[in-house]
Amino acid sequence: MRRDTYFEALYKISEVSHKLGVAQATLRSWETKGIVEPSWTLGGQRRYSQKQIDDLLALIKSENPSLKGKTPRMRALSAKLLAGFEL
């Protein structure tokens, strides 16, 4: 069996910031608010999974604030994310 099948790719905060088009401070803020919970390395650095990136990207790109049709997890993430923005 291939060795890389055991490990999920994890991304640094700078990589995620670039992929999502948001500041690193925004990702830290979302972490504080419970929107995303990154993993941590033994050296104390944040790491994000592709699933977390995809979930955040879906929320960012969503033009319709309606939560209809979303899974309970996505509804919870949407509500947390939308609550973090001031209009």
Question: pTM for the whole thing?
Answer: 0.65
pLDDT band with cut points at 50, 70 and 90 for residue 6: low
Higher pLDDT, 87 or 61: 61
Q: Nearest-CA neighbor of 59 among 71, 48, 47, 49? A: 71
Q: Which pLDDT value is given to residue 11? A: 96
**Rounded distance between C-alpha atoms, residue 36 and residue 58, angstroms:** 13
> How high is the pLDDT of residue 37?
94
User: Considering its fold, how many domains does the chain have in total?
Assistant: 1
Question: Which residues face 51 on adjacent strands?
Answer: none
**DSSP string for 18-37:** HHHT--HHHHHHHHHTTS--
The CATH number that applies at residue 8 is 1.10.1660.10
Give the integer Cα–Cα distance in Å for 6 and 66: 37
Q: Which of 43, 74, 62, 54 is nearest to 9 (CA)?
A: 54
pLDDT tens, position by position, 27-52: 998 899 888 999 999 999 999 999 99
Domain ranges, residue 13: 3-83
Nearest-CA neighbor of 56 among 74, 83, 72? 74
